[in-house]
Amino acid sequence: MKKNKSEGNRNNRFTVRFTPQEALSLKEWAEVTGHCIAFFIRQRTLGFIIKPRLTKEETIFYRQLTGMANNLNQLAKAANSREDVWNQIRLTIKAIDQLHEKLI
């Protein structure tokens, strides 16, 4: 994460000691979320919730949902000019619902 100029310099330092198991757990969580340990500790101590990165499967589903959303938008535009598109819209909505259920 790039530091914002408005944040100022981080000159204050705190020393915290961890057991080997705590340190390992901390490293694993930082890795899962895709951030360095310092960023992870800083965000968590300030009360922020850090979500893990998407898995490869979730990324594929997300891309598929994005593509379907684009298709749905195009179908909706076409539906304003033609009546026979509504069946395609229903099929697309059904496919989106199925993918959404897999993500949940």
Enumerate the domain spans of the chain: 13-53, 56-103
Instruction: Give the containing element (helix H, strand E) for 69.
Output: helix 56-79
Mean pLDDT within 82-88:
71
Residue 22 is predicted with a pLDDT of: 94
Q: Report whether pLDDT(101) > 90.
A: no
Question: Virtual CA dihedral for 86, 68, 92, 72, nearest 10 degrees?
Answer: -20
Q: Report whether pLDDT(1) > 70.
A: no
Q: Report whether pLDDT(5) > 60.
A: no
Residue 75 is predicted with a pLDDT of: 78
* Euclidean distance between CA atoms 37 and 25, whole angstroms: 11
Residue 4 is predicted with a pLDDT of: 57
Q: What average pLDDT is seen over the chain?
A: 83
CA distances from 38 to 16, 23, 44, 75, 101 (A): 12, 12, 10, 47, 35
